[in-house]
């Protein structure tokens, strides 16, 4: 009974939201039906605390979104690759943004070998990232390791986007697509740019090396209390 009531709440919320959208912008939904022309593809974590559209304040129709546990882009994941292909080839998005977030449960599980079931196999991709950077991660104080791996994971997954055949082909034919890596702070609601912004195949390796060096510096010599984040 309680469950039914909860779902009724959702329908009531939905009716109120739709009426509000229509009254603020008459014809909003009929315009959306006619066309979707988002400029951005967001690849983020499925975590309920990281709602893509809301935290960049974009309306329906303005952001194409793919989310999974720990924002992984695997070379053989037909789901993510199909989203990227549609976004690039059909929608012609100009920016693809991989967005991780602080205190990511998937990253924590991967870092600490926690077992939850089937998802452990998915998180092997994040463990691959951990293993690639194990020496660096182990050199950090324990309390910084999760957020460092969150950032490393964003870099690796953003690089995977760059190396997908879809993006490679788009760049080859001269289509403008920029791939970015960002991290969202659960504690302050703010997005941080990992300074990995790539728009050409030749830029992938140097941009990755630059972003990785900056990441390592940030974590190996963190700002003193009161000093702004670098």
Which of 42, 171 has the CB closer to Zn ion? 42
149 scored as a contact of Zn ion (CB under 5 A): no
For residue 11, the minimal CB distance to Zn ion (Å) is: 28
What is the rounded CA–CA span in Å between residue 229 and residue 227? Answer: 7
151 scored as a contact of Zn ion (CB under 5 A): no
Nearest C-alpha neighbor of 208 from the set 156, 151, 131: 156
Whose tokens are 């100009």? That residue is 94
Whose tokens are 């991967």? That residue is 110
Applying CB under 5 A, among 104, 111, 126, 166 the residue interacting with Zn ion is 104
110 scored as a contact of Zn ion (CB under 5 A): no
199 scored as a contact of Zn ion (CB under 5 A): no
For residue 68, the minimal CB distance to Zn ion (Å) is: 9
What is the rounded CA–CA span in Å between residue 205 and residue 212? Answer: 10
Options 66, 104, 130, 147, the catalytic residue: 104
Nearest-10 Cα torsion for 122, 125, 128, 133: -120
Which of 47, 156 has the CB closer to Zn ion? 47
For residue 218, the minimal CB distance to Zn ion (Å) is: 20
Catalytic, 49? Answer yes
Options 49, 172, 200, 210, the catalytic residue: 49
Whose tokens are 């082909």? That residue is 169
**Span of 57-65, 82-90, 96-104, 213-221 interacting with Zn ion by CB under 5 A:** 96-104
Tell me the CA distances in angstroms from 53 to 116, 135, 206, one per residue in order: 29, 36, 31
Give the helix/strand (H/E) hosting 22: helix 2-24
What is the rounded CA–CA span in Å between residue 58 and residue 41? Answer: 12
47 scored as a contact of Zn ion (CB under 5 A): yes
What is the rounded CA–CA span in Å between residue 33 and residue 16? Answer: 20
Which of 104, 149 has the CB closer to Zn ion? 104
Catalytic, 162? Answer no
Q: What residues act catalytically?
A: 45, 47, 49, 101, 104
Binding residues for Zn ion (CB under 5 A): 45, 47, 104, 106
């Amino acid at each position: 009974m309680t469950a039914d009531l909860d779902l009724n709440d959702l329908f009531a919320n939905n009716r109120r939201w739709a009426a509000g959208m229509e009254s603020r912008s008459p014809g909003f939904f009929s315009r959306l039906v006619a066309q979707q022309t988002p400029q951005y593809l967001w690849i983020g974590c499925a975590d309920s605390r990281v709602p893509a559209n809301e935290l960049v304040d974009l309306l329906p129709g303005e952001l194409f979104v793919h989310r999974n546990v720990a924002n992984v882009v695997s070379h053989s994941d037909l789901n993510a690759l199909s989203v990227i292909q549609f976004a690039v080839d059909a929608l012609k998005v100009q920016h693809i943004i991989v967005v991780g977030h602080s205190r990511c449960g998937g990253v924590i599980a991967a870092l600490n070998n926690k077992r939850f079931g089937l998802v452990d196999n998915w998180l092997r991709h994040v463990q691959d990232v951990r293993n690639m950077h194990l020496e660096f991660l182990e050199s950090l104080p324990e309390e910084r390791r999760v957020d460092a791996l969150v950032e490393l994971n964003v870099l690796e997954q953003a690089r995977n986007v760059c190396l997908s055949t879809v993006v490679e082909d788009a760049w080859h034919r001269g289509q403008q697509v920029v791939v970015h890596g960002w991290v969202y702070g659960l504690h302050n609601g703010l997005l941080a740019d990992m300074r990995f912004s790539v728009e050409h195949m030749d830029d992938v390796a140097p941009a990755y090396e630059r972003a990785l060096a900056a990441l390592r510096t940030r974590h190996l010599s963190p700002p003193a209390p009161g000093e702004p984040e670098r």
